Amino acid sequence: MKKLLLATGNKGKILELRALLENLEAEILVPEEIGLELQVEETGKTYAENAAKKAKAFAKASGLLSLADDSGLEVAALDGAPGIFSARYAPEPGATDADRRAYLLQQLKKFPKPWSARFSCTAVLASPAAELHLTNGICNGMIISQERGEHGFGYDPIFLIPDMGMTMAELKMDEKNQISHRARAIKRMIPMLLSYL
């Protein structure tokens, strides 16, 4: 069976990606399972640059087809921030997801509601021969000031999907994987994955 490496150590992402890729006839691996320890600095200026850096580095180090993504929350009132800095948004070192959500809400206090926002994701597939394939996905919504829901990670508890009346964190995995930015990017990548596998 062909192998696909998920170029991430993020537990929340791994759960989502494994669920999204469960019907692929491939062995889905994570770096830990093959004894690969690799830290890739996300110094790119776009999601695509960051995802490509990760996918290429993991494909080169492992010799395996590797799938990476980079994503972020873009809030209109903050001119698209935190964007590519979403995972590093709170100023204090060692900040948690909860710290980042609290910091975001603090930044938004001076702006009138509603706070429209979107999640954006770029997925990159890298072959060991350094061939790259890129797809994008977007999910529109708004930021709310009260956290809701127990699922997901990151900014999910304060990201409301108006059509559903629920936050991303209130959705079960199969529901999230119908509409999320990551799901949309990965679903667009499936034909390319199938061509390799």
- Per DSSP (E only), the strands in the chain are 3-6, 27-29, 65-75, 115-126, 132-143, 159-161, 166-167
Residues 148-180 as b or e (16 or more Cβ within 10 Å = b) = ebebbebbbbbbbbeeeebbbbbbeeeebbebb
**Dihedral class, residue 121 (left if φ above 0, else alpha if ψ from -120 to 50, else beta):** beta
Count of beta carbons in the 10 Å neighbourhood of residue 35 = 7
The answer to whether 70 is a known catalytic residue is yes
- 3-state secondary structure at position 81: coil
| DSSP for residue 24 | S
Among the listed residues 70, 97, 99, 156, the single catalytic one is 70
Residues annotated as part of the active site: 70
